[in-house]
Amino acid sequence: MNLSYRIYYVFLRNLISYKRFIFTTFLVSLGQPFFYLITFGIGMGAYMGQFGGRPYLYFLVPGVLISSVMMSSASECMYGTFVKMIHEKLYDSLIATPISCEDAVAGDIAWGMFRGLVSGVLMLVVALLMGILPVSAVNFILLLLLMMFVGVLFSSLSMIVTSFAPNFDFFSYYSELILTPMLFFSGVFFPLDKFPAWMKAFAQFMPLTHAVNISRSIFSGQASQGLAFNFLVLIIMEAVAFNFGIKLMKRRLIK
């Protein structure tokens, strides 16, 4: 793995181009999760009553926040990366400089992570306005770190998808068949307790399940059951996804 500090240059290039459409992306990254908060949080929350001793929104926010990180990071490293690779030939010009192919892909993963973080922070501001926030300043920092970690994970997973994508349509399979269902299987909107055993087991294979669990613990300040296991699974998934994301992209880019 031929990685170097030049990852930062690739990130910087994205940042310079980002300043031109920063506000439109703010709207886009806020949109979907914001609807979830309003419709599920306020609409459905009214029927849910108290939820584990607190209003439903306290349950919902930590999950929606992590899913907004997931969605932003994932789409940046699908659509964003695909456009740069196929339409703009940006990767060709990057790897003709001392930037290695691995640097270029890792730089885009770092960028996807950043886009996820921006979405997450925007949601956090909304949550704050609703009066829902992590229990302490330390947990606030932990939450930011978690968002970054989740951002790298879903950016890397998208790189794997992008490395096989013949065209844009390909991405809708991944979004519609994997990412969106994951929202409903990972305990974002409701707890998994009432699922039959096989569905619970199935949910353990979804990275979002573990990330949402950790996020809830950070918000509440109370370590949930299996927290260590959640961390372990996420770290393993991230290491594997990052490695494969870069290797498979390299296979596509270097001919």
Write out the chain in H/E/C secondary structure: CCCCCCHHHHHHHHHHHHCCCHHHHHHHHHHHHHHHHHHHHHHHHHHHCEECCEEHHHHHHHHHHHHHHHHHHHHHHHHHHHHHHHHCCHHHHHHCCCCCHHHHHHHHHHHHHHHHHHHHHHHHHHHHHCCCCCCCHHHHHHHHHHHHHHHHHHHHHHHHHHHHCCCCHHHHHHHHHHHHHHHHHCCCCCCCCCCCHHHHHHHCCCHHHHHHHHHHHHHHCCCCCCHHHHHHHHHHHHHHHHHHHHHHHHHHHCC
Nearest-approach distance from CB 41 to another protein, in angstroms:
36
Nearest-approach distance from CB 17 to another protein, in angstroms:
3
Nearest-approach distance from CB 96 to another protein, in angstroms:
5
Distance separating alpha carbons of residues 72 and 152, to the nearest angstrom: 11
Q: Which is nearer to another protein, 93 or 224 (CB)?
A: 93
Token pair in block for residue 82: 């695909």
Do residues 11 and 110 make contact, with C-beta atoms less than 8 angstroms apart?
yes
Nearest-approach distance from CB 62 to another protein, in angstroms:
34
Q: Which is nearer to another protein, 34 or 79 (CB)?
A: 79
Q: Which is nearer to another protein, 93 or 222 (CB)?
A: 93
Which residues of this protein are in contact with another protein, per CB under 8 A?
2, 4, 6, 9, 12-13, 16-17, 20, 88-90, 92-101, 254-255
Q: Which is nearer to another protein, 99 or 157 (CB)?
A: 99
Nearest-approach distance from CB 39 to another protein, in angstroms:
35
Nearest-approach distance from CB 80 to another protein, in angstroms:
11
Q: Which is nearer to another protein, 100 or 119 (CB)?
A: 100
Q: Which is nearer to another protein, 194 or 255 (CB)?
A: 255
The length of the chain in residues reads 255
Nearest-approach distance from CB 166 to another protein, in angstroms:
17
Q: Which is nearer to another protein, 70 or 249 (CB)?
A: 249
